[in-house]
Amino acid sequence: MRLGIVSYYVRGSEYEPKTEDHALRLDESRSVVERLLDFLDERGVEAVVNEEAAVVIESDGVPVSEMGDIADVVLTVGGDGTVLRTLSHMHDPVPILPVNTGRVGFLAGATPDDALDKVAEILNGYEVERRERIAVEVDGETLPPALNETVIVTSRPAKIMEFDVFHGGELVESIRSDGVVVATPTGSTAYSMSAGGPIVEPCVKSRLVVPLAPFRMQVAPWVLGSDRRTTVVPTRVGKPATVVVDGDEYVEVGRGDEVGFTRAENDALFVDTGETFFEKVRNKLS
């Protein structure tokens, strides 16, 4: 078995900490990466690291986009953003075990304290949990798939937008709002929830459409089937908007541009650590 280790934000890289607390988390990420490498080396397990982490530990690294071709399991060290960024670079993902050195870490399956125990379990076999991703297109241009959500938001603050939302080719609703969140069930506990959307169990094959600060009080979130195409079209002249995929990919759109959403060809895969979705909600969101 060969394991990949991905950590973008470690102390010693070009990434500079923003606060003292942030610096401590970067130090912790580096410590976890080094302990994982020592642990695997002692057991004769081959490991590869991403290029950003390799610079810090003075080792050879590989692009994250190639991890799926050379690793059986990828360990991400960081917060949920590290997980999302890693998956955005993997068209056909291998199973991931996120080790949380961030804040909430809702996607995480391990902590710095139990990471080595979790990896030891993986070496003896593991089960996989599948999570739907959303394929995103802007006027035919393919963007990286989203595990959590895609947000279409006004490019200028405090400027209301108008959107037409279609599902399966039929108009669902015309919305006046600051933006729209299109989320997976996995993303229902992220930005979508903050915007007033429902929490959806990940096994439900669905897609959420949640308006941001709608003009009318009667506008409610939609839970749509993920088996059909959802399209969001900005309709107001002179009001530019930005499409943001999992907080990492940005594309400008304008009136009449079609932002299309379908189920991605390849799901995200997570190592099943035994913690249920409802346990995560109770433990991390309460």
Give the Cα separation of 22 and 234 in Å (integer): 37
Question: 261 and 230 in contact (C-beta within 8 Å)?
Answer: yes
Question: 206 and 134 in contact (C-beta within 8 Å)?
Answer: no
246 assigned to active site: no
A 10 A CB-CB count for 32 gives 25
**Neighbouring residues of 22: CB distance < 8 A, sequence distance ≥ 6:** none
**Neighbouring residues of 269: CB distance < 8 A, sequence distance ≥ 6:** 93, 94, 95, 96, 128, 129, 130, 131
**Angle in degrees, 0-180, between the axes of helices 20-42 and 115-123, rounded to the nearest 10:** 30
The tokens 């039929």 sit on which residue? 170
The tokens 């990466």 sit on which residue? 33
The tokens 């590290």 sit on which residue? 82
* Residue in 80, 178, 246, 257 annotated catalytic: 80
Give the Cα separation of 211 and 247 in Å (integer): 17
133, two tokens: 């991703």
User: If 0-12 CB within 10 Å is exposed, 13-18 middle and 19+ buried, where does residue 206 land?
Assistant: buried
What residues are labeled active site? 80
